[in-house]
Structures are given as C-alpha cells and as structure tokens.
Chain A
Amino acid sequence: MNEYKINKISDYKWEIEKDEKYGMRVPGIIFANKELLDHAVREKTIDQVMNVATLPGILKASFAMPDIHYGYGFPIGGVAAFGEEGGVISPGGVGFDISCGVRILRSNLDIKDVKNKLEDIMGILSMSVPKGVGSKGKIRLSKSELTRLIVEGVNWAIKNGYGWEEDKFFIEEKGQMEDTNPDYVSSEAMERGLSQVGTLGSGNHFLEIQVVDTIYDKAAAEAMGLNEGQIAIMIHSGSRGFGHQICSDYIRVMQKTAAEYGIKLPDRQLACAPLDSPESKRYYRAMNCAANYAMVNRQCLANWAREALEKFFKKSQEKLGLNIVYDVSHNIAKFEEYNIDGEVKKVCVHRKGATRSFPPGHRDIPGQYKSIGQPVLIPGDMGTYSYILVGTEKAMDESFGSTCHGAGRLMSRTKAKKSVQGSELKKELFDDKGIVVMAGSMAGLAEEAPLAYKDVNEVVDIAHNAGLSKKAVRLRPLGVLKG
C-alpha cells in the first residue's frame, strides 16, 4: 500500500496530496464522505488514483467519483482529462466494455397496470432478450453489414427497423460517434461482434422494469415525462465481445509503444500513448466504432423490450408510450471543451465507471433537456433503487463534467457468493419486496446481490451534495432480468 497524505477539502471532497517522488503530476481528488473514503483506503483504491496521476499530460487532478472502488489500472469511478499537447489516451482508462452504459425508456403504464402480471411480463421479456454467448442472437450480421453498423451507429439500427426515428435525439451524441475507422478494428473483434448485437451480457448488466418511486425535481421529471407510479424500463449493457477485443488489442499495442514514447507505467493495465501518436488515433477511432456498437446494442435490446411489451399488452409501442428518456455511456474517452485557467481547451476526458454530467444549456444535450441539464442515469442494485440525476455547472468546474455511475461494489464476488445463494436471494426479493428476478445463472445472481453493493442512496446523496449532479427521480425495481 502506498503512503500518502489526505487533506479534507469539504465533507464530500478529499485531496490526495501530489507526491512527486511517486511520480504524481497532479493531486488526487476523491468525492466521497468519510466512510466511503475509508473504504477506498482499506481497499487500496487510493493507490490506483495515484497511479493515474502519474500519466503524462494529466490535467488538474486524478478524480474519483463517489462510487469509487478498486478496479484494474484505473479505479472504477475514475475520471482523468488529458491535454491535447503532451496528453495521452489509455484504453485501460476506458475499460474493456467500451461505452458500457444505461438507457431508460418511459411508458404510459402505471404500477396498477403491471400488478399481479409481473411474472408473465418478465417471462415474455426473458424469452425476447438474448442473454449472450451461446444464446441465439436475433441478429446475425455479415462483415460488411457490421462495418456499416459501427460507422453509422443507431442510424443503422433505425434504418433496419430496430427503433423509432426520434430515438436518436435522446441518445448521447445522437447515437453516432463520428470519428470512426473500421480499418483499425481487428478481424477478431469483428468476428466477436457478428453475433452479439442485441444481447444483454452477464455480470452487472440487466434489463429492469421499474416504477417511478420519488420525484425530487418536478421540472426535471416533467421534462423527462416522468410521474410517480409510472412504469419505466432500464437497460444496462455495453459493446460486448466487440469492445472487449478492441480494448485488448490496443492495450497490447500500447504496452509495446509506451516504452518507446518514454512513458513509465506504474501498472501495465494503464498502457497509453500520446494523443498525437498514430497508435492513439487508431485506438480512438476503433473505440468510437465500439461506442457505436454499444449504442446499437442498447437500441436493439430496447427494441426487443418494446416488442415484448407490445405483445403482452396487445397495444402498439407508440400507444404504450415507450419513448427513450435518455441513453448515456459510463466507460468512454471523449474530446470535450473546458475552461482551464481562463482558457477554453479541448481535452480528452476518460470516464471509467463515471457518467457525463453536462449542465443546463450545454450544446450537447437534447433540446427538451436544455433547461434541466443532461439526464444522468444511475443504476443501483437489483433490490434497492436506481436514480436519474441531472447535470450541473459545478461538475464542469470540479470534475470535467462527470459524476458517479452506480452504487459501486462493496464486497468481492467470491464473498457475495459465500454470503448468499442465488435461489434464496431470488425468493427473498420476491417474498420481501415483490421483485421478480429472472437470471440465467443463480451463481451469477448471487454475485450481484444487493449486499455486495454500497447503498446507492448514500452514493447519490454524495454526488448531489458535492454538486456533481442533482437528484431528479428515484426508481424502484419491480422485475429484473439478468444474463
């Protein structure tokens, strides 16, 4: 464990002093309360925050959001921005699941409409949503079609009948990252991507039927078309094997070139390359292909969910009002503009388990949300709550427009499995809370048990109190579908 000095800045903000001997170029900033900070200390996550602070061209600080926990290379909840000159891009700082993210759809259904029908609804959803490897994906693409998909993003999906024309306006980047180049994607990544479009995946990925439980910000809820008691669908998934392979490919490339560029890595998983290097440009364009893949994946998952509900309620998707509220990624590197020391600079922001949190009026958010700020989607664990927050101006000043992305793990997967059995958990959630859980694996379910996660209410309160995002809506799970 490293030695370091922690300074309290406020109840929700802590500084890890810059240690030049360790190679830190900037301090670490952790947004947490004392309890969560102590947990990060015990888990040695501070070491990972410090490691990121040693990367060339890092600006202001190596940040960690309130759901900070120990990852590999970057901490989960890590945010780091790099200047165009002298800065780097790190595939490990994005993660294997490139553009893993969350989407939420609202509906015209009320909690009364699903009462006593949840098991049937979840059954039909479970039949309609392919889970992952080995399950029969509904879409089997040719390589040329996949090439179009990773360039066109959600436009490809809509053109092919997987969604509504207006969907794209409620997705980050309108569902399409533009700076792509399929030539920089390996044939292995393409092969892995062919059959996995529209599949959920396992681990913490899910599709949930939720009910709007509490409204904190009336104006924001109204802009998002959400009312108490209303049914919503939340989807958490990413770029599947396609993105995983791209990350692996470029970590390998940058392992080699880091030494050539004179970059010293405190952890090999932090492999990176200067932003103006050919390796960096190739990775960025391949990563954007994966971001497009991820957005299409969530688009198709949403489409299967819409079709399933249409079938169940015998009403059209449009009549059911299954509009996208928003879709945002929490594993990504993006070029964004920030005011740094009085000058507007373009920087490359890495968010590894952190969500973009743009303020009201920002040009990159849909017109409907201009007055409230960008919706920030925070999935909690399957037994408690999920949240929608909205972006703030303070996040632009304090955390490169970023906030938390979930509850954050508290307990290892092994410990979780030792503490609870999947089948018991499923029964308990139903008996105690009426939550219907469908999961491909009971062992996998146990690893995702609520007790393995921090209290999402606490994490969200910290993000809110630190000013990184503002609480708008809380949702409660009714039905959970896991891969």
Chain B
Amino acid sequence: MKKLRAFKKYKYIEHPSDTGIEFSGNTLEELFSNAAAGMFSIICDLRLIKPEETRVIKISRKGIEYEDLIVLWLERLLYLHEVESMLFSRFEVKKIVENSNNIMLDARIYGERIDFNRHEIKIAIKAPTYHTLGIEKDSIKNSWQGRIIFDV
C-alpha cells in the first residue's frame, strides 16, 4: 500500500501551563489516529509500548461535530488507559461515517499493560479540552488538520 505522508503526523504546541498538539492526516480517519498517537506520546514514549493487546472502539453520537467526536475519542482512550492500566501505541481508525444527523467512529487500537520496569509515564493527561480546539479540511492539499489542548 502506498503510504502518503505529506506532513508530520503530529507536533507539540506551546501552551503556557498545559500542553497541546497539532495533528494532520490525509484522511479524517488518519487525522483521528494521529491525534491519538500524539496524545499517548505525551504520556509515554510510543516506541516503548508493544502493540500486543487490542481493543475495539465504536462511538456513535447524534447531533455532534468532528470537534466533539475527537474529544469523545480521546476521552475514551484515556478512560481505557486509566481503568485498564493500558498504554497504546497503534491506532487504526477504520472509518468515520456521517449519516444524516449521526456520526460514527469505528477503530481498533493496540497496546499493552503498563510495566514500570519499561515504561516511564512522563505525565498524566487529565482531559482533552475545547479551548482553541479545531478540525479543518485543507481543500487544496486535500488533507485534514487539527489542534487540541490537554489539561495535564
């Protein structure tokens, strides 16, 4: 499969007290996958997280926008991270479908349980915020870009 990598998947952005990322993707699905990778890279070095276990995530909501969906998606990942003591490093958002008033996300994620002998938890993320949150399609480049600030 030809891999399109027009730009970096995610980069950290300066925030005076918290932390954030800008992320991009050739498709909306890739955009969401990259945002998740960006978020977990704040918590732990992704290279140290073996993609041994998998979880399936499905989100379906009425009357929301992509911005709401990304917050829901990242919150769900943080929930699994905390409740199951998991770290994730591979994110495959398979499809994001918009149907009349409904948006649906279907994803599979890969990771492993936290092992303090191998994983340094750099910082915990409390939550993704709506502050300056944005998701945009660049029609010229035919790609997607986003920005999110996390409370840490």
Known: A269-B130, A269-B131. A133 touches B123 (CB 8 A): no
Known: A72-B151, A251-B130. A201 touches B82 (CB 8 A): no
Q: Is B99 an interface residue (CB 8 A)?
A: no
Inter-chain contacts of A86 with B (CB < 8 A)? none
Contact at B130–A268, with CB atoms within 8 Å?
A: yes
On chain A, the number of residues with a Cβ less than 8 Å from chain B's Cβ atoms is 51
Known: A72-B131, A202-B121. A43 touches B82 (CB 8 A): no
Q: Is B8 an interface residue (CB 8 A)?
A: no
| Pairs A-B, 10 closest by C-beta atoms | A134-B114, A72-B131, A268-B130, A70-B16, A269-B131, A443-B122, A202-B124, A72-B129, A96-B126, A269-B130
Tell me which residues from 101 to 152 in chain B have a Cβ below 8 Å from any Cβ of chain A. 114, 116, 119-124, 126-133, 149, 151-152
Q: Which of A223-231, A242-250, A424-432 contacts B (4 or more CB under 8 A)?
A: A242-250
Q: Is A252 an interface residue (CB 8 A)?
A: yes
- Bound-state Cα–Cα, A189 to B105, Å: 22
Q: Is B15 an interface residue (CB 8 A)?
A: yes
Contact at A483–B124, with CB atoms within 8 Å?
A: yes
Contact at A271–B130, with CB atoms within 8 Å?
A: yes
Contact at B127–A244, with CB atoms within 8 Å?
A: yes
Tell me which residues from 237 to 295 in chain A have a Cβ below 8 Å from any Cβ of chain B. 241, 244-245, 247-248, 251-252, 255-256, 267-269, 271
On chain B, the number of residues with a Cβ less than 8 Å from chain A's Cβ atoms is 38
Which residue of B17, B18, B75, B131 has the most chain A CB atoms within 10 A of its CB atom? Answer: B17
Contact at A192–B79, with CB atoms within 8 Å?
A: yes
Q: Which of B19, B63, B78, B151 contacts A414 (CB 8 A)?
A: B19
Contact at B121–A132, with CB atoms within 8 Å?
A: yes
Contact at B122–A444, with CB atoms within 8 Å?
A: yes
Q: Is A97 an interface residue (CB 8 A)?
A: yes
Whole-angstrom distance between the Cβ of A74 and the nearest chain B Cβ: 10
Contact at A413–B79, with CB atoms within 8 Å?
A: no
Could you list 25 A-B pairs, sorted by A, with CB under 8 Å? A43-B16, A71-B17, A71-B131, A72-B130, A72-B131, A73-B129, A95-B151, A133-B114, A188-B79, A192-B83, A201-B124, A202-B124, A202-B152, A203-B126, A245-B127, A255-B68, A267-B132, A269-B130, A271-B130, A413-B15, A414-B14, A440-B120, A441-B120, A443-B120, A483-B124
Question: Contact residues of B with A, CB < 8 Å?
Answer: 12, 14-19, 63, 67-68, 71-72, 75, 78-79, 81-83, 85, 114, 116, 119-124, 126-133, 149, 151-152
Q: Is A327 an interface residue (CB 8 A)?
A: no
Contact at B14–A412, with CB atoms within 8 Å?
A: yes
Q: Which of B19, B63, B124 contacts A413 (CB 8 A)?
A: B19
Inter-chain contacts of B79 with A (CB < 8 A)? 188, 191-192, 241, 245
Known: A72-B149, A192-B83, A414-B14. A203 touches B123 (CB 8 A): yes
Q: Which of A71, A73, A188, A244 contacts B126 (CB 8 A)?
A: A244
Q: Is A474 an interface residue (CB 8 A)?
A: no
Inter-chain contacts of B81 with A (CB < 8 A)? 133
Whole-angstrom distance between the Cβ of A481 and the nearest chain B Cβ: 15
Contact at B85–A133, with CB atoms within 8 Å?
A: yes
- Bound-state Cα–Cα, A441 to B124, Å: 11
Q: Which of B19, B78, B127, B132 contacts A247 (CB 8 A)?
A: B127
Q: Is A447 an interface residue (CB 8 A)?
A: yes
